Amino acid sequence: MSAVGERTAGPASAAPPTPRGGRLWGQLLRIGFAAGRGGPGDRLRFWALFAAAVAVAVVALGSVAAIATYDGRAARDEARGPMLTDRRQDAVALWRESFDAVGEVQHSVIYVSPLKADAPPPPGLTHWPAPGEAVLSPELVRQGEQEEITTRYGHFAGTIGRSGLVSPSERFAYVRPAQPAPELLKNDSWQYATGFGRAYPMGEGLNGRPLGQLLLTLGVLTGLPALSLLVVAARVGSRTRDRRSGLLQALGGTWRHRAVVNTGEAALPIAAGTVLAILPMLVAMSTDLRIPPTGYLLNSGDLRAAWPMTVAALLVSFAVSLGAVVLLHRVQRDGTATRPRSFTSRIPLWRLYGCGAGIALVAISQYFRGTPGLLAFAFGTVAMWALLPSVAAAASRALGAKFAARGFANGRPGQLIGGRWTVAHPGVVVRLAIAMVIGLGLICQIQVWNSRLGEKAAAARASEARVGDGVLTVYSRDITPPAIRDLAGSLPAGAGLFSLDTDPEQPAPLLQGSCDALRSLGLPCPATPETAEGGDRRLEEIRNWYGPQLRIRVAPSDLPLDRLYGQLLVIPETPGQQAAVERAALAAVPAVNVETLGENWLTGASNKARLNNWILLFGSLGLALLLLAGTTSAAAEFVRVRHVLAPLAVLTGSDRVFRSVALWHLTVPLLIATFITGVVSAWHSLFFIAVVQEGSFSWSVLAGAMAGCAVLAVAVGLLGGRTAARAAHHWRPAAD
């Protein structure tokens, strides 16, 4: 070789071309951009990347919204917290906290009474309410309309401004009692406040969860599925990209050159998806957005204040999505060899054993007490659900071989090919089934957890069903004999007023009332305590709650009430009088509690259920993403093989084969997965209920969820078949 030849063929020419300015990178970007719009499966890849970018950006913006909301909530919570003092002379107002409920949702009622005329009112109020006036949050007014909330605490004097509420959906009330301050100070429930501006959790702040916990839930339930969609989207259409990468490599390109081409290819869909994700954020920034199914209203001001963080999150989300696509790109020989691939795709055995071990762990968890038992149950459950899709795929694979054999024996090409594909590509079934398995499991678990009211809450629910608001308890440490007289005089016509003494020193609880009141319950009028016999169903409920040995006695002219163990019972003549009774009681005694039997148990359970709504929200989003990832993966599988089937289908004029293949390759395995998951979900839920001896399993919820999954299985099959058939119609010989 000549010296010239050596120079021209030397390392300089084999090395990657030296970038001149940005020209090479620009060219590579343009190559990638063009490559993203021409090969088979590009449209699918574009939309898959687009959807993945939307999902990742939505999770990022969701995190920003959570952080911004928590910041705003903390600031407003602190601004309205009372600065309490023991020194009367420093105080500007009397302050007292109490609780009430609308429906089964509890809210804080803050009683205030200014001691100085120039004292600033709490945040959210333009001025102190006048004596006997109440200022309510807009959400409390909205939710409490049926219960006539605007008349419950006194004269309705308007709504609390946004600065006084941790969120626009907070139920909250400020009430100024009609009584003057000296009168109020007769009882020790009131506290002196020197102003407002110290952290003091109340209202919604009492039921909140730490920010870290919310972000963790969002990350696990929605973020991980979004990342899985990103991984799937990054690998869609790998056949053509692997060829291109091979070519670039052969031409002396390095991984950086490949990365730039991949960036050019993926940048547009990812940028479009990231930009689209900002739309809901923009809506939430312009108006308070209610988040279904939680009913929570986001404070638009909080989100507006966080715009720098929003921009940063969008940039990070774009970079993460693009970076994942570039980093996940591996150079493989798949699709570059002329020989068709042979498949030995088996489900790794450890996954099946792992699922079995998970089930065994759940089963034996009942023999361990306390934390070890809980850990065994939790680990077993996670392992079981995570690996169950592989079990479903293994079952589908075994049945796929049988289907293929039947298809062969009966000469049905769709059944033959579909069965063989299921045997060869069980991963498709695993990816598709993940969403269904986790979805069914989650729905059953939420149903069981929501049914776990606890014994008392379940009893309260039963009581409510039997007598509704037929028996109302009225209790407060401040009920004085004059207040009882006031209350007796202002109750709805025909309502009976009783006192109930539950002093444990007594042989049994004692119910006292006027002779008329006792008779209204179908009872006699004994002058000395005696065990109540008979009575109507309302008395039966009282006995259920306070003891079967309940004693009764005609009360003296003034109804006695033990300050420590006593409470009043109001038994209206007709149902639906709770609002009137509450109004009367609150007029007589500020901050008094008026409840149906066991109502506080129901509000506790309701708090739990409303927290579950967040799990439902994040979980549903995550499931939708997992399902999208599974469907994309299946669609990519169709793209991979449609170039094989399309010519045959065109030549034979039969595109029914695509629908038939989709039925046997997608729908049937998903139905198998649905059945297996349904059985395991039922067992798991019933086992859980048996161990904790609480809650109930709803077969109808399971049946509904399984029916939903079955519909989805059919829809995925139809969609897959239709997509492949449509693609086949566009097939043309292309060896030219």
Partner 1 sequence: MAAGGSAGLRVEGLHHRLGERVLLDGVELDVGPGESVAVTGPSGSGKSTLLMCVLGLVAPDRGSVRIGGRELTGLAAGQLAQVRRELMGMVFQFGELLPELTPVENVALPMLLSGGDHRAAYRRATELLADLGVPHEGTATGMLSGGERQRAAVARALITEPAVLLADEPTGALDPEAREAVADLLFTVSRERGCALLLVTHDLSVAARAGRTLRLEAGTLTDVRDGVGA
Minimum distance from CB of 398 to partner 1 (Å)?
16
Minimum distance from CB of 15 to partner 1 (Å)?
31
The type of residue at 273 is G
Identity of the residue, 59 or 347, whose beta carbon is nearer to partner 1 in the bound complex: 347
- Identify whether the C-beta of residue 281 lies closer than 8 Å to the C-beta of residue 274: no
How far, in whole angstroms, is CA 26 from its chain's centroid? Answer: 45
Give the C-alpha distances (Å, rounded to integers) separating 646 from 206, 239, 242, 725, 726: 62, 17, 22, 8, 10
Minimum distance from CB of 650 to partner 1 (Å)?
7
* Buried b or exposed e, range 8-44, using 16+ CB within 10 angstroms: eeeeeeeeeeeeeeeeebeebbebbbebbeebbbbeb
Both tokens assigned to 204:
């919604």
How far, in whole angstroms, is CA 239 from its chain's centroid? Answer: 38
Identity of the residue, 239 or 684, whose beta carbon is nearer to partner 1 in the bound complex: 239
Identity of the residue, 137 or 415, whose beta carbon is nearer to partner 1 in the bound complex: 415
Identity of the residue, 338 or 528, whose beta carbon is nearer to partner 1 in the bound complex: 338
3-state secondary structure of 394: helix
Identity of the residue, 286 or 345, whose beta carbon is nearer to partner 1 in the bound complex: 345
Q: How many CB atoms lie within 10 A of CB 101?
A: 20
The type of residue at 254 is T
Identity of the residue, 343 or 368, whose beta carbon is nearer to partner 1 in the bound complex: 343
Residues in the site for partner 1, rule: CB under 8 A? 338-343, 408, 410-413, 416-417, 420-421, 423-424, 641, 643-645, 647-654, 657, 732-736
Identity of the residue, 38 or 411, whose beta carbon is nearer to partner 1 in the bound complex: 411
Spatial neighbors of 448 by CB under 8 A, at least 6 apart, are 685, 688, 689, 695, 696, 697
Identity of the residue, 151 or 654, whose beta carbon is nearer to partner 1 in the bound complex: 654
Identity of the residue, 14 or 651, whose beta carbon is nearer to partner 1 in the bound complex: 651
Minimum distance from CB of 649 to partner 1 (Å)?
7
What is the rounded CA–CA span in Å between residue 280 and residue 57? 11
Residue 316 φ then ψ, to 5°: -65, -45
Using CA atoms of 537, 543, 548, 553 in order, give the dihedral in degrees to the nearest 10: -100
Minimum distance from CB of 660 to partner 1 (Å)?
10
DSSP letter (8 states) at residue 398: H
Minimum distance from CB of 329 to partner 1 (Å)?
24
Minimum distance from CB of 240 to partner 1 (Å)?
14
Minimum distance from CB of 731 to partner 1 (Å)?
8
Minimum distance from CB of 404 to partner 1 (Å)?
9
Spatial neighbors of 21 by CB under 8 A, at least 6 apart, are none
Minimum distance from CB of 72 to partner 1 (Å)?
57
DSSP letter (8 states) at residue 193: E
Q: 93-102 and 566-571 as β-strands: parallel, antiparallel, unpaired?
A: unpaired
Identity of the residue, 335 or 524, whose beta carbon is nearer to partner 1 in the bound complex: 335
Identity of the residue, 338 or 371, whose beta carbon is nearer to partner 1 in the bound complex: 338
Spatial neighbors of 281 by CB under 8 A, at least 6 apart, are 61, 64, 65, 303, 310
Identity of the residue, 371 or 410, whose beta carbon is nearer to partner 1 in the bound complex: 410
- Nearest to residue 618, comparing CAs of 54, 50, 55, 47? 55
The type of residue at 80 is R
Identity of the residue, 2 or 338, whose beta carbon is nearer to partner 1 in the bound complex: 338
Minimum distance from CB of 391 to partner 1 (Å)?
22
First to last CA, the chain: 38
Spatial neighbors of 118 by CB under 8 A, at least 6 apart, are none
Minimum distance from CB of 410 to partner 1 (Å)?
7
- Identify whether the C-beta of residue 289 lies closer than 8 Å to the C-beta of residue 283: yes
Identity of the residue, 511 or 646, whose beta carbon is nearer to partner 1 in the bound complex: 646
* Burial classification of residue 658, based on how many CB atoms lie within 10 Å of its CB (0-12 exposed, 13-18 middle, 19 or more buried): buried
Identity of the residue, 48 or 661, whose beta carbon is nearer to partner 1 in the bound complex: 661
- Identify whether the C-beta of residue 323 lies closer than 8 Å to the C-beta of residue 230: no
What number of residues does the chain have?
A: 736
- Identify whether the C-beta of residue 633 lies closer than 8 Å to the C-beta of residue 432: yes
Minimum distance from CB of 14 to partner 1 (Å)?
27
Spatial neighbors of 457 by CB under 8 A, at least 6 apart, are 598, 601, 602, 604, 605
DSSP conformation letters of 128-158: PPPTTEEEE-HHHHHHTTTTTHHHHSSEEEE
Minimum distance from CB of 628 to partner 1 (Å)?
26
What is the rounded CA–CA span in Å between residue 707 and residue 443? 13
Minimum distance from CB of 417 to partner 1 (Å)?
7
Q: Is the peptide bond before 292 cis (omega within 30 degrees of 0)?
A: no
